[in-house]
Amino acid sequence: MTDVAQAHSENGPTIDIEGVTHCYKKNQPVLSEINLSLGAGFFGLLGANGAGKSTLMRIICTLLKPTEGSAKVCGFDVIKECHQVRQRIGYLPQEFGAWRLHRVEEVVDTLAALSGMNNKKERRARVAEVLEEVGLAEVADRKVKKLSGGMVRRLGVAQAMVHNPPVLVVDEPTVGLDPEERMRFRQVMTNLGRERTILCSTHIVADLGSGCSEIAIIDDGTLAFQGSPTKFLTNAVGSVFEIKVPTESATAIESKHEIVSRTFDGANVVFRVVGKSAGEFNTDASKVEEPTLEEAYLAFMAKRGKLEQADQTETVAEEPKKKKRRRKAKQD
């Protein structure tokens, strides 16, 4: 029986959060009455920047004591039994850095030793195994400074799971990665989630992908949704519409409606927009029967009156554009 299976059979959910509230300032909760139970699989924690995701992650990882409520990992309380929790959890923070002049293998081996793996032979075997799992076996002798951004993130995953924890917590893992590296990282997470509980916090909806078991949405410090991606997508049907108009009419559509995406079809522009019904548009609009996760998220936030926050959520296509704007701003 794997560690995760044993945790399930003996202690129920691998991560169990009950009534967690946290305030950095008096009477100003960052999190409010969060209840969340997760078993084995790859789980996405989604929300705009500042929604409270990282605060919740830090509580789960024993780095922050909640103002109210309780959180358990594999049946152990994150406050009263923090040492037991730390033995069973791997953590990849949003900002991960490794010793640039050290080799990949050296970094993971050192951190494995610090985690309590004292048998050198067993530790080296485990280091080789984990580097293979994250796709870094071929660059084990390469210095960290010569790794790509995606490789550094995978190195972060390797150090987080080298002691073979049943729970892996990753915070904004793909920020700054190109689409190819993002896809590779998502596949690594999906594979690892088959025998572990992986909680991935992100504001990039596309990071979750088809391998995600469940989605939880944090909005203004509250749990706004928890369920399968299929359920989330189903809830969005009837709220996303497609409109095709001549290019000269595009401005009128953009000024009146929340645009999800736009594509060009000859002399026409095809918009996907969020709305309550097809009747609210002054032109022919067809209901989108299979919305994407990004479209479903925008529709969900629109119903909550939070489209401004939803616009902070990036898609794979949007992030490179933001990089270009940042580079242009620096040049100016």
CB 291 within 8 A of CB 240: yes
Neighbours of 225 (CB within 10 A): 17
Domain ranges of the chain: 3-224, 234-303
CATH code linked to domain 3-224: 3.40.50.300
| List of residues 6+ apart from 90 with CB closer than 8 A | 159, 160, 161, 162, 163, 165, 167, 168, 169
The pTM of the full predicted model, rounded to 2 decimals, is: 0.77
Q: In whole angstroms, what is the distance from residue 320 CA to residue 254 CA?
A: 22
Per the listing, tokens 């892996």 go with 168
Per-position pLDDT tens, the chain of length 332: 344 434 443 545 799 999 999 998 877 889 999 999 998 888 999 888 888 888 999 999 999 999 999 999 999 999 999 999 998 998 888 777 778 889 999 989 998 888 888 889 999 999 999 898 888 899 999 998 998 878 888 888 888 888 888 998 988 777 767 777 777 777 777 777 777 898 988 877 877 766 788 899 999 899 999 998 889 999 889 889 988 888 888 888 888 877 888 888 888 899 888 887 777 776 788 888 888 888 888 888 888 876 554 544 444 434 444 444 444 444 44
Give me the amino acid identity at 311: D
Give me the amino acid identity at 104: V
Q: Is 24 exposed, middle or buried (0-12, 13-18, 19+ CB in 10 A)?
A: exposed
